[in-house]
Amino acid sequence: MKAYYSMFVQMKNRPCIVIGGGKVAERKIGRLLQVGAHLTVISPSITEQIRQWVDQQQIIWKEREYKRGDLEGYFLVIIATDQAEMNQLIYQEVNHQYQLVNVVDAPDLCTFIVPSTVTRGYLQISISTNGASPGLAKKIRQEIEDTFGEEYETYTLFLAEMREWILQQNLNARTRQYYFAKMLEDEILTRIKKGGKERVMDEIKQEIIQKRNV
């Protein structure tokens, strides 16, 4: 059974190219924009949404068909035309020494595939079926979105800020571990929902400071 290695890649300012400007290209571009990638799209036609990104100067659009040499210099390549043969031809020009490639209609050619993702603040949950059923990945994504609601945005911010603060407090390892564990108790999320993040942060900080001083 084939299996892919999962990893989270830093894409900020990385040059990426997408060949084709249809619905599938739009979905891939949207996710890459969210993580700060630099995008160029080559396609004679583009969707309404892609046109908006072009108008807002969020991406570069070359309004034409693919031609030889277009892939040169890009870290990440997405081949997303609706012409299977054309996609295969473009694929031949990938330089595997430095380029990662996704061919949207040919999973076996992909050096990476894109998972379905739930993002809540710092929390990112990615779901893949290794290409077996993208529809299932999407369905599970929707179920996870219901379980981990928008409150996790605030909660992960809270956890990150508290963790940093605790690490600066010169506590012994046991006390530190105690508070890291405490912040993961369900009760904390409930308190944040009720009283707000700042208030719960203040309360826990006070508790730690007071205990340290006895």
Ligand X SMILES: NC(=O)c1ccc[n+]([C@@H]2O[C@H](COP(=O)([O-])OP(=O)(O)OC[C@H]3O[C@@H](n4cnc5c(N)ncnc54)[C@H](O)[C@@H]3O)[C@@H](O)[C@H]2O)c1
Q: If phi over 0 gives left and psi between -120 and 50 gives alpha, with beta otherwise, what is residue 124?
A: beta
Exposure string of 43-80, with b = 16+ CB inside 10 Å and e = fewer, is beebbeebeebbeeeebebeeeebeeebbeebbbbbbb
Question: Per-residue contact track with ligand X, 31 to 70, x per CB under 6 A?
Answer: -----------xxxx-------------------xx----
Residue from 129, 154, 156, 175 touching ligand PQ2 (CB under 6 A): that is 129
Does residue number 139 form part of the binding site for ligand PQ2 (CB under 6 A)? Answer: no
Radius of gyration of the chain (CA): 22
Binds 19, which of ligand PQ2, ligand X, none (CB < 5 to 8 A, cut-off by type)? Answer: ligand X
- Which of 23, 68 has the CB closer to ligand PQ2? 23
What does the DSSP 8-state code read for residue 130? T
23 binds, among ligand PQ2, ligand X, none (CB under 5 to 8 A by kind): ligand X
Shortest Cβ distance from residue 154 to ligand X (Å)? 32
Sign of CA dihedral 189, 193, 197, 202: negative
What mask, x for binding ligand X by CB under 6 A, covers residues 64 to 103? -xx-------------xxxx--x-----------------
